[in-house]
Amino acid sequence: MKSFSPFGGKGEYHNPVLLKKSVDDLVTNPDGIYVDVTFGGGGHSREILKRLSEKGKLFSFDQDLDALENTIDDERFTLINQNFRFLENSLLMYGINAVDGILADLGVSSHQFDEAERGFSTRSNAPLDMRMNVMQSLDAKKVINDYEEEQLADIFYHYGELREARKLAREIVHQRKTKKIETTEDLKNLFSFIPPHKQNKFFAQVFQAVRIEVNQELEVLKEMLLQSYKILKPNGRLVVISYHSLEDRLVKRFLKNGMFEGEPSRDIYGNYAKAFELLQNKAVIPDDAEIEENSRARSAKLRTGTKL
């Protein structure tokens, strides 16, 4: 499936990850109201619609303008061009205050990685951008060239899990005094001292850290999860596919007790309060066949909770 890009290129949306399992977990009522907060190429949304009756409804979210080209011609379907941090208010505009299930397939789509001009990929030389919403002002170039050294160090440490975070930040600040860091190659060239056998993982961590900051991914995820709990009906399902440990940690903790940090309250018997009943105690991961067909699936973890 092709999509027009505001950057002037075209790219494909690849196979949705854990498609059957995620939708099997999600749809429990064919007449219900469901939400796909990460529409992308529409793979999950199309599968959800297959499971719904004529009475069912699906609302999908995507802030990326490219995704609008993939809209589905179906009376039961509504595509909302918004960041999913506005989940609750956006649905209220359509008169929806309770839903039967919410699906989130997190991270960057294959399409966004493949659009070299977007600056997400470590494989292509492109302007430092990394915005999922091309209308926002903050991009990777501003982060790299304008953030203070301490801010950069915190980003690399917390979002990239890089032990040498302070050294990396210091190098960036030193280099940008003489020349602005404009492209992904400019950024990578600063760290040519990294041994070749470590470069792939290292640059992936650097790019992940900057991308998370540009798009405020972890804060947005927290907001979406909290709103999901509010608008899910009792016994409604929350299905989340994550791709790195920072996301998965938040999802796992939230499904366990509805919190991201701190200690949950206990009942009179000393048991922790539960927000969801987990469908599986451990995260579901793709099998070897799916990973071979779709390399993006390699790091995927699916967790599903039923609202209590």
For the annotated binding site for S-adenosyl-L-methionine, the residues are 42-44, 62, 84, 105, 112
Alpha helices in the chain (DSSP H): 19-26, 43-51, 87-92, 110-114, 140-146, 149-158, 165-176, 184-189, 196-215, 217-231, 245-257, 288-293
Q: Are 58 and 80 in contact (CB under 8 A)?
A: no
Neighbours of 171 (CB within 10 A): 16
Q: Which residues are annotated as a binding site?
A: 42-44, 62, 84, 105, 112
* Rounded CA separation 239/249 (Å): 14
Instruction: Give which of 100, 98, 102 is closest to 236, Cα–Cα.
Output: 100
- DSSP H helix total and E strand total for the chain: 12, 9
Please check whether residue 169 is in contact with residue 150, taking contact to mean a CB–CB distance below 8 angstroms: yes
> Tokens 């071979």 map to which residue?
292
The number of residues in the chain equals 308
Cα–Cα distance between 276 and 270 in angstroms, integer? 18
d(CA 106, CA 37): 9
Using alpha carbons only, give the angle 162, 166, 168 rounded to the nearest 5 degrees: 75
> What would the two tokens of residue 89 be?
């208010």
Question: 269: number of CA atoms within 13 Å, CB side?
Answer: 3
Nearest to 146 by CA among 118, 172, 117, 119: 172
